[in-house]
Structure 1
Amino acid sequence: MCLKNPISINELTQASRPLRNILDQIRVQCTLCAQTDLQRGNFVDHINKICPKSVVPCQAADIKCPWQGPRDELQSHISTCVFEPLRPVLSSLIAQNRQLIDQVQKHDNEIKKLIQQMHQLQPTATNESNDESDSSSVSKFSIDDSNQKEEDAIFIRNLPATIKFNDLFDLFSKIGRIKYNANTKKAEVFIFKNPNKKDGLCNAKVVFINKESAAAAVVEYNGKHIPQWNTRLQVNISYPKKKNLNEVGKTYNRK
């Protein structure tokens, strides 16, 4: 091997154990505290445990004391450290904070799992064909209100004739989770078209999993102009058939 050619660190090999033992006996001097007659093999321990000029943290670093300085100044700092006297309180707060962080992480993981489950359910609903949505009418859809909870559904008027299932699902799923029917394997979004006026305005019904989402949808979209549909929606709570809207006396107006 040519001695004039530089070599990389990857080309270096570790010295043999006997040679390293000999080298460790060499006497060296600490460049920090100037102590001499140190064995090379003990130099790391000298820096980490003994050297008075080696930079060390405060013993209260675990409770966020920011001090760092020479080892020979540590005792002087400890006598005035404002963190160490507060150790019982700070340790308790730090432990509680760690527990809260763990709980938040656990909840985040649970939310991610729920979102994944929701996404697994939504494709079945959103993949319903446009042809089926277009051909839906009052006479074709027979909606069973017997299982509908009070105030968990909305009725939408003034929809364009070209409205699609996916259009409604995408718009109202922003407000809350739409109810999924395990029997039909579809989200409960129903479009009602007048078979005698195929080009006229149509209506729809959307069922949420709770009444809070339904109420929020009314507040958000009742009387609101939807540019992509070029229409102003009328959105109201849809009660089960046994309910009389005039008797209920509740009106939700858009804020």
Structure 2
Amino acid sequence: MAASIKPIATDDYFSFYESDTISGNLLENDDAGANGHKFLRFFDNENVLAKNANQITDIAGDYGVFHVKADGSYTYSLNDDARLLLFAGKIFTENLSYKISDGAGNADVGKLNLEIKGDPLTSNQMLLDFEDLPVGTTGTFTYHGLLFKNATVVQAADGGKEIFFQGDGDNSGIYALDDVKLVEFDFHDGDGLSTTIPVLNGINDGSYHPQISEYYDDPFIGHIVVDANAFTEMHFGTNFAGTAYAYLDNMILQYDSGIIA
């Protein structure tokens, strides 16, 4: 079989956790042209600069920025806003195309699939998605070491389940009954008017509002990372419309004395 005259690009698949150093080389599994050369010329339809061997071109993806060189090597920086929304079990995927050349007018196109996964849970952590709660459960009930007050289990738009709160401040919320800490959670606003802010009451600092990225406009949909040592109860404060509607999609809890069933 005769050797190929042009370079051959082979599609790439890479998978990393969010805390990994994300890097690689797109050309590692590609074949050079007949002249023995292969260079990265375009990435996501952007020209890859090559005035010198170490020149880096920054190209924005959907969730972060690629830093690429003409030799095919790259690193990737996840955006802060995307990192805020990434958690155990969730995956972001960057899908892009790239073109390689042998420098003699011959070229080929390949694809990159970069998968960024939320860091896995530790052995004393649990993701609660409420799938084992019957739809329609309402009022005050306990669940994995938590007391839910004035809450209702409802069907989510994606087919899963979520907890709906409709109350006025601390008359509706979540309370820790045992040695349990809240690590992260997802919620979305219920009225479409403005963000319903979560308020967490802690042992040491009274109460605080978890940081919410300014990237997200009203109504709020997002993932919140909190100070796990400052959780004894959580309620949703009213917004400017005077409502406290909120839908809790999932929670990551930490049990220092063993997971509570």
Q: TM-score, normalised by structure 1?
A: 0.23
RCO higher in 1 or 2 (8 Å CA, sep ≥ 6)? 2
Structure with bigger helix share is 1
Structure with bigger strand share is 2
